[in-house]
Amino acid sequence: MKIATLCYPTYGGSGAVASELAMHLADRGHELHVVSYEHPFRLDGFRPNLSFHAVTIGDYPLFRYPPYTLNLTNKIIEVCEEFGCTIVHSHYAIPHAVAALLARDVLAERGIRIKLACTLHGTDITLVGRERGYFELTRHAINKQDLITAPSRWLAEATDRDFGTTPGRVAAIPNFVDLQRFTPNRDCASRRQLAPKGTAIVTHISNFRPVKRIEQVVSAFAVLRRRMPAVLVLVGDGPDLPKAEQQARDLGIRDDLRILGQQRPEAILQASDLFLLPSISESFGLAALEAMACGVPVLGYHAGGLPEVVEDGISGVLCPTGEDVCLGSLAANLLLDRERHAAMRLAARARAEQFGPGPIVDSYERLLLDLEA
Ligand code: GMT
């Protein structure tokens, strides 16, 4: 297959999944052309059959808001024509699915037929896509795709309900994790570097947007900190990170925060005792899966697709949404119960092993190959 993959390059799950999938498909001999406005953070290592194409964005003075979607569409047309791509795979519907649809029309006029696949990731359905300014076009573009996938049954059902896709049409294909790269390693150097012996390491990784409820991460940590020596490691960047820092200052725990910015997460996860992910909604929770692969239990809510990944009471703790729970006390209770914590660490890794790349990339590959048939 020759596939043009459209994705966001930024720190976040959709760009990570798009990049990892592109690399796996390239390793299986397919030709991949990744299109984005910057080189995606997870795309690494040379492969002769994988290339990156940057979308150049016009800056004509008339444009107060440069029309990125048009530049993207133009790039899709160029890439499909030049390299003979027959599938355009959009990751995150907005604006990728719309640009792909427009490109398909232009290419059809030139006698070039392409098929469209779209992997929905989460807020393209649960938040942004529902906004009035995006809804109609997003619904149209999703329904015009030849293949639609979502990382959880929960998101597939939400798409049917809110965007009118026929039930069963959105294929639920979970996120996957590299089980060699993300593997437990308690004696790693990063553990000693992040905190002195006997100090619990609690971690949160995200793009620090309101949906992640960072304020709950910090307040839970403040409660936990009163019960034991601990540090809170924050990885990633985003609009709510400065607020988290201020909240920590107000609570008198700023010195216990390790704000690391955007980093490769594996060494940090290996050093961690607990991963906090109290999101309002999480279509899957790739960061949680990566933590679990490193043997780190997850504490969060029974929200969105997270229960399809984390088994409450076994590989982590999921609190009922809408109830007044004290995440900090739950975290402290778990970390102080050494036996339960050790069992949960093992269970977290065992659960993650069900999400290795092999069979999940197989599912994508099969559905994409069917498009060509
Ligand atoms: O926030 C998003 O929806 C975008 C996306 C991203 O790029 O960060 O995250 C989503 O996609 C991941 C990969 O499929 C999922 O594991 C995340 O759960 C999902 N985030 C949300 O649903 C909030």
Name which of 138, 150, 287, 271 is nearest 205 in CA terms. 287
| CB 236, CB 208: distance < 8 Å | yes
Q: How confident is the model over 30-60, as pLDDT tens digits?
A: 999 999 999 999 999 999 999 999 999 988 9
Substitution candidate for ligand 1 out of 283, 292, 355 with most atoms within 8 A of CB:
283
Peptide linkage before 278 cis (omega within 30 of 0): no
Substitution candidate for ligand 1 out of 131, 286, 309 with most atoms within 8 A of CB:
286
pLDDT at 325: 81
Q: How confident is the model over 321-368, as pLDDT tens digits?
A: 877 788 999 999 999 999 999 999 999 999 999 999 999 999 999 999
Residues 229 and 298 in one domain: yes
- Alpha-carbon torsion 157, 158, 159, 161, what sign? positive
pLDDT at 44: 92
Q: Give the mean pLDDT of the chain.
A: 96
- Alpha-carbon torsion 234, 239, 244, 249, what sign? positive
pLDDT at 373: 84
| CB 291, CB 203: distance < 8 Å | yes
Answer yes or no: is 277 within a domain.
yes
Residues 262 and 363 in one domain: no
Q: What does residue 331 show for φ and ψ, rounded to 5 degrees?
A: -65, -45
Answer yes or no: is 183 within a domain.
no
Residues 213 and 269 in one domain: yes
Residues 17 and 163 in one domain: yes
Predicted model pTM: 0.96
The answer, yes or no, to whether residue 11 has pLDDT greater than 90, is: no
Domain total for the chain?
2
Sheet of 170-172: strand order equals: 50-54, 31-36, 2-6, 87-91, 115-119, 147-150, 170-172
Residues 98 and 134 in one domain: yes
Average pLDDT of span 7-22:
95
Residues 242 and 350 in one domain: yes
The answer, yes or no, to whether residue 296 has pLDDT greater than 80, is: yes
- Name the residue range of residue 199's domain: 189-355
Residues 209 and 343 in one domain: yes
CATH number of domain containing 235? 3.40.50.2000
* Residue located via tokens 């359905």: 125
Residues 140 and 195 in one domain: no
Residues 281 and 365 in one domain: no
Q: What is the C-alpha to C-alpha distance for residues 279 and 304, in angstroms, rounded to an integer?
A: 9
Answer yes or no: is 181 within a domain.
no
pLDDT at 187: 82
Residues 122 and 213 in one domain: no
Contact residues of ligand 1, CB 6 A cut-off: 8, 12-15, 17, 121-123, 151, 175, 207, 211, 279, 282-286
